[in-house]
Amino acid sequence: MQTRKLGNSNLEVSALGLGCMGMSFGYGTVSDETEMIALMHKAVDMGVTFFDTAEVYGPFTNEVLVGKALSPIRDKVVIATKFGWEANPADGGKWNALNSHPDHIRKVCDESLKRLNIDVIDLYYQHRVDLNVPIEDVAGAVKDLIAAGKVKHFGLSEAGAQTIRRAHAVQPVAALQSEYSLFFREPEQEIIPTLEELGIGFVPFSPLGKGFLTGKMDANTKFDSTDFRSTSPRLAPDALKSNHALVDVITDFGKKKNATPAQIALAWLLAKQPWIVPIPGTTKLNRLEENLGALNVELSPADVEALEAASSSVKLEGARYSPFHQQLVGR
């Protein structure tokens, strides 16, 4: 398995990680616990060392699942989780309230450690920027947790460039986790140059466009109401029909490389920068194997340029998030 370092940190991980959210949250179904533990163990056997979860996934159930699977083989893995949400009593207890106050961070860190059944969190992300708490206070709280030996590295998710700079000045940011793929290239404008300047790693989530870039979706695809993709304007039926032209471009390119669309999408990310580590999620062994096959797909600078030129000709329809979630990114 190829490994990569996240920016200037000494955090070395497998070149592809595994996003674990969908095993127990977000996609309308909850997978069998025994099967998911076996899948994570298989991923480790295949060289994956980087696993991603969050307290809000479930909430809580995904951290418990990851802990059951990985705490017995702790020395072989790097575990990332996230803080920054809490239930909103004013909205029936829904997890739609942000809270990154330092005392809350300290409290939920201990709770995550307990659920994960580990002594230290390798990478601790602020899940979304909380405008009610100065980012310097957030970074300071995580800095204290690092000093206390409860956290090794600090991360941010979907933060804007200025927020990244301010946080990094207090406690070095090891990685930013944000959406990035051939289906969503906005980070190229400001975020990626900022990360390169500061020596921060990039962990793209939804590197396969929430499954769209696998080529398995079309205008007839229906999402359950409990599947978060049902709220994405970019994945609505009319948008899926229009946006499929992008999948066609990637599929045609893949034929030249004897690779699937998913493998091309991941290989493109891997070719962009040596400090980019995508974390595609899956609940299926054949998809895990397919995704890891992207590591054997070599794209030259000319290949990347050609793929980007072709894909840029497709005008994508629809916003990636609902208005509620859109307001929480890039802050």
Residues tagged active-site: 57
Under 8 Å between Cβ of 26 and 282: no
Q: How far apart are CA 278 and CA 19, in angstroms?
A: 9
Q: Give the whole-angstrom CA distance, residue 142 versus residue 226.
A: 33
Q: Measuring CA to CA, which residue among 259, 229, 256 is closest to residue 320?
A: 229
Cα–Cα distance, 305 to 296 (Å, whole number): 19
Non-local (6+) Cβ contacts of 232 within 8 A are 210, 318, 319, 320, 321, 322
The DSSP bridge pattern shows strands 173-179 and 151-157 to be parallel
- Does residue 257 contact residue 248 with C-beta atoms inside 8 Å? no
Cβ proximity of 107 and 121 under 8 Å: no
Closest CA relative to residue 155, chosen from 105, 117, 110: 105
Contact 173, 9 (CB under 8 A): no
The sign of the dihedral angle between the CA atoms of 298, 300, 303, 304 is positive
What is the spatial distance between Cα 202 and Cα 199, in angstroms, rounded to a whole number? 10
Question: CA 210: distance to chain centroid?
Answer: 11
Contact in structure between 294 and 16 (CB atoms under 8 Å)? yes
